[in-house]
Amino acid sequence: MTEAVEEATHSYTRAEKIILRDGDPLSCGPYRTLGAAVKVKPDSPRYIGRMTTPVHQMHQNQSQSTTHRRGLGNIANNCYLNSAFQALRHVRPFADLFRSTDWSTYSRSDKRGHSLAHNTSALMTAVWSPDVDPLGRRTVLPSQFVRSFVEYAQACGIDEIRFGAQADASEALQLLVDGLHTHISREVHMRVTGSPTEPARIEYKQSVESWATFFHKEYSKILDIFYGQTQARLTCNKCGHTSTSYTPWGSHKVEIPGATTPGAPAPPLKDCIAASFAKELLDGYRCDGCKEAGTTEKTLCISKFPPYMILIIKRFTASMQKVRARIPYDEADVDFSDYITWPTIQKTTAAHYRVVSTIEHLGGTRGGHYVMRTRDDYTEGVDPEWLIYDDGNVTKSPIGGAATPDTYVMILERHEKGASITQPPSSETATATATATATAAVESKETATKETSVTNAK
């Protein structure tokens, strides 16, 4: 196992094409290209080049299923969507939401995404059903889900996503989460009260007000699972005047420092995260204080940490080259504590995450195949093991959740450092952090009310 992990290169290498023995490019599934099936006999030998990761090589050698979890059939180059769905399936509050009827409370047939939400729930129910159906089949065919997703993407004007064509798993994951959130959202009036006097708490109140303003017309439980908020602070280098703004997000993207230099050492994930929060100098910015144009320093930090974070590693450069490099990380603790906005306020808010799932992109810019690895926390009473979901095949991951040169998307679960992380956090997360008090009025009508009070009390 150690040799297999070390086989993954620690420096940047350019993308190479995966080929079948007869020279046809391999894109998605066993014998598929972009939009068309390759005519190769099932028993024909095939050659897979260097782009095959150690995880996938060892997965190919394991044909016996090792879990009661169910895979998804690849019906139309949809490995990208299978991987995205399976990753979300292992986010417990998200799975619970769509396995129940709670999602349908605010669903209406005239709202965009109704078919997508309905088929997401149906597929979630199917994959959590017993191991096999009455005919003894383990694999679930997601036909209606795939069609409804493609139709939703087309309705949103995303022509790149079409039935039978390969697409990007990170974009599919974000579109799926955002589309479901939009469909089941409703209006919620959030009243932010209190008159703090400390500068940090004044800013904190501003961040909560910004959150309430942004989402009061479209609030859903999905916000409480995946969405965070970033504070941007601008400081004038002439007069020292500062201004702040707040931006919500459903995923955090990180670049790989030095990715434009082939052969350069690959940095660990913590350095990629640090680069995404690096200070930036803005030239020619007109200051709101001194009213003069000059150099302004921009800093970013996190003002709201989501219970689950979608982290995307930007492996494709502007020149459309894929960067293959193993980005090391500690799967039990991905630390964001250096990017807390208000340490005195957020100190009880966890800024530490563990890796729950990863999506791997096997291939280059001209095509590839997606697989998903996840921590099987649903096996009670035993230590969780990592599993590989490769369309309809589900097997053990011989390297657990360790990084590979093709790790592309990560789903992180927040936890208090040093505390037990066996139980995921509840999806019923308050809008404010632990230092603010929040109460929600339960109403039978569609418009609910949430009240948040921000004070100086610690």
Give the DSSP letter of residue 423. S
In the three-class reduction of DSSP (H, G, I as helix; E, B as strand; rest coil), residue 55 is classed as helix
Mean pLDDT of the chain: 77
pLDDT of residue 265: 75
Q: What is the pTM of this model?
A: 0.80
Q: Where are the domains of the chain?
A: 2-185+220-427
Least confident of 241-245, 291-295, 300-304, 411-415: 291-295
pLDDT of residue 50: 28
| pLDDT, average across residues 23-29 | 33
pLDDT of residue 345: 86
Answer whether residue 382 shows pLDDT above 70.
Answer: no
The widest CA-to-CA distance across the chain, in whole angstroms, is 75
Answer whether residue 400 shows pLDDT above 90.
Answer: no
pLDDT of residue 275: 96
Structure-model confidence comparison of residues 12 and 365, the more confident one: 365
User: What percentage of the chain carries pLDDT values higher than 90?
Assistant: 55
Answer whether residue 4 shows pLDDT above 90.
Answer: no
Nearest to 435 by CA among 197, 219, 205, 222: 205
| pLDDT, average across residues 69-96 | 94
CATH superfamily ID and name for 2-185+220-427: Cysteine proteinases (3.90.70.10)
pLDDT of residue 350: 73
pLDDT of residue 356: 94
User: Across-strand partners of 393?
Assistant: 390
pLDDT of residue 248: 97
Which residues, in sequence order, are CB contacts of 69 under 8 Å at separation 6+?
A: 127, 376, 378, 387, 389, 394
Least confident of 37-51, 59-73, 142-156, 237-251: 37-51
Contact 206, 200 (CB under 8 A): no
Nearest to 191 by CA among 435, 457, 436, 445: 436
Residue 52: how many other CB atoms lie within 10 Å: 18
Answer whether residue 424 shows pLDDT above 50.
Answer: no
| pLDDT, average across residues 320-341 | 90
**Tens-place pLDDT, residues 432-444:** 332 232 222 222 2
- Distances in Å between the Cα of 152 and the Cα atoms of 82, 215, 227, 358 are 16, 22, 21, 25
